[in-house]
Chains A and B, each alone.
Chain A
Amino acid sequence: MFSLIIDLGYTHNHDDDDSNIAHRPPLEKEVLRINKEDYSIGQKIRKKVVLALCGPNRELFDLAFLNGMPLELMPRMLELIQEYGRTRTEAFRCMMPDGREDEVLEAIDRYIGPWPSSKQLEKEALSRLYHTLRGWELPSLFVNLNTPPANVTTEKRKRRKTCRY
């Protein structure tokens, strides 16, 4: 009886036991995994932002929030968006700690469904990149594009005299 109670987790805390969350939605599992991992707080925030941008619900994929973002940060943001494919692979690799990818993929196929191929992941990543750039205030990429830089002289260059024979 007592061992049964232990199994049910009533007398103990199974901090590292993922069996209890196996049936939870993928997004929740991913959040729990991020919180469990030994990342720095900064890394965790970064992974959650990526999840919000590219995860199943894409809560942050409304690109309007990028509009106020300084231009210098945009490459970082694009990098984050591209990161998601890698994050997903990492998440499943954790299921097999010694990194046996074939077995991981086989297990995923068996229990979860077909795992997207690397080509498909790449396609998704490019698609996200495309949508982000399209949805973002593209004109800000080209602000002042017609105005010449300050150090460029406006004087007409004298034409070099050449002999024409």
Chain B
Amino acid sequence: MNQQVNNINQPVLPRRSRRLATLIPASHWISLGYSEDDAYMMEDLQNDMKKYCDNSGVEIDLVHYGNFGNDVPFSHHDLMIPHWQKLFKTLNGRTSVQCFDIGGIYMPISVLDIMFPALQSMNLDCLYLCTMGLESDGFQLLSSFIKHNSSVTRLVLEGNKFDDVSTAATFSDAVKDHPNLEMLSFYNCSLSSNIDFLRKILEGCKRKSRLGLVISLDSFGSEAVSVVADYISSNHLLRSINLSDNNIKDSGAAQLATALKNNTNMHGLHLYDNDITEDMESCLRKVLFDPTSIDSIVQSNHRSRVYT
């Protein structure tokens, strides 16, 4: 079930199902060619959607359906459209929800078209959109959502990848102007696959308010490290940056150490699971505390914490 849109064996939807979004059992999905696991997953998804339609709570949690290990979202089937419609119609205006967490399910533009207006009406604090296979159209809708939203403080875009630089630029503009965003995560988003994606995103992070930025599980080359080091060095109002698991080597860490010397705003630099030797870790620590002389102590960084 790795293809994103499954149009094979597209059945004619029973009128009752279209109207009431009644539960489509696993057996039906199996008859459509789904594996047993996937069929039960579809049933679970519908049950969870129904649960959130029936009960109000502070959190909507629709994850665990996709195959995270392969970064491939679970495929969409048009049979699910009435369920999505019902869910987002019900959620529309439900301001009690603070956190919307969806992951591992591919959403075509037809579903995103109804999702974002509903999210806009919900006064959300946290929005997690993980491994949804967002494409240019999806990112455009997300950018528009962010541009017109002021309530979201945490936005996680795990596993979604930009297709083109203009989309990254649009998203970047939206982020730059957002008044309350405190945390933005690009975990496994391959920003460094095109250095211009990274440049554009960091451009958007030159904000007037503090931001915690996560760019992790990426494969940073030397150019990507230089771009991030320049950004850190320019001392913008960045609260922290998480660069874990990015294949950063000693040479890159040295650049980051130099950049950190010039930064008086950042509270945290996270460098877990990179290829940094102990000697270089010592150099990074020396940026925070260089006891060679009193002058070197004075010139150390007194705000940041480096995690290796």
Contacts and interface: CB of A to CB of B under 8 A. Distances in A.
Given A9-B242, A44-B302, A45-B302, A1 B289 contact: no
A59 B291 contact: yes
Interface in A31-65: 31-32, 34-36, 41, 44-45, 48-49, 51-52, 57, 59-60, 65
B185 interface: yes
A45 B297 contact: yes
Given A2-B130, A21-B307, A28-B285, A12 B183 contact: yes
B212 A13 contact: yes
Contacts of A20: 272, 307
B239 interface: yes
B240 A13 contact: yes
A128 B272 CA distance: 38
B301 A11 contact: no
Nearest to B103: A2
Q: Which of B128, B214, B297 gathers the greatest number of chain A CB atoms within 10 Å?
A: B297
Contacts of B156: 11-12
A2 B128 contact: yes
A10 interface: yes
A32 B244 CA distance: 18
Contacts of B294: 49, 60, 65
Nearest to B67: A1
Question: Which of B217, B242, B307 has the largest number of chain A CB atoms within 10 A?
Answer: B307
Given A2-B63, A2-B64, A48 B289 contact: yes
Contacts of B300: 48
B93 interface: no
Contact of A10 (B212, B217, B292, B305): B217
A152 interface: no
B181 to A, nearest CB: 14
Contacts of A32: 288, 305-306
A155 interface: no
Nearest to A20: B307
A35 B304 contact: yes
Contacts of A34: 302
A37 to B, nearest CB: 10
Contacts of A27: 289
B293 interface: yes
A15 B268 contact: yes
Contact of A49 (B239, B297, B306): B297
12 contacts: A5-B158, A10-B216, A10-B217, A11-B158, A12-B242, A13-B213, A13-B270, A36-B267, A49-B294, A51-B291, A60-B293, A65-B294
Interface of B: 63-64, 68, 101, 103, 128, 130, 156, 158, 183, 185, 187, 212-214, 216-217, 239-242, 244-245, 267-268, 270, 272, 285, 288-289, 291-294, 297-298, 300-307
